[in-house]
Amino acid sequence: MAAPENTNMAPGTSTLPAARVRRIIKEDKDIFACGADSLFVISKATEYFVESLVREGYEFSRLDKRKTVQYKDMAKAVQSIEQYDFLGDIIPMPITLKKTGGGEKS
């Protein structure tokens, strides 16, 4: 996978706020401590992951001849690409109200 497009960042920096990443890491009770180097690597890995996922969603929007990435594009990426299978419960394919049986008058 290619490096993020934002190449004007100083080496050793991340676009994600370190304090927030550290707070998220601390939510895991199995992790006792996280050094600055580890925090940076986790931040960069997260950036690469998010960029990759959004890039795939963008490709689905382009297939539909749109420039805006919509939820359904992200759901298609999750459903279509094995690497994102673990996100299936978090980003499921949207269903119409008609398919749920809702909205029908009794």
pTM above 0.95, yes or no: no
Q: What is the pLDDT of residue 12?
A: 77
pLDDT digits (tens, 9 = 90+) for 42-91: 999 999 999 999 999 999 999 999 999 999 999 999 999 999 999 999 99
Structure-token pair, residue 85: 């299978």
Q: Which of 39, 73, 80, 78 is nearest to 58 (CA)?
A: 73
What's the half-sphere exposure (Cβ side, CA atoms, 13 Å) at 3? 6
For the chain, first and last CA: distance in Å?
53
Whole-angstrom distance, CA of residue 106 vs CA of residue 103: 9
Q: What is the pLDDT of residues 92-104, one digit of tens each?
A: 998 878 777 765 5
CA separation for the pair 24, 18 (Å, rounded):
10
CATH superfamily of 18-100: Histone, subunit A (1.10.20.10)
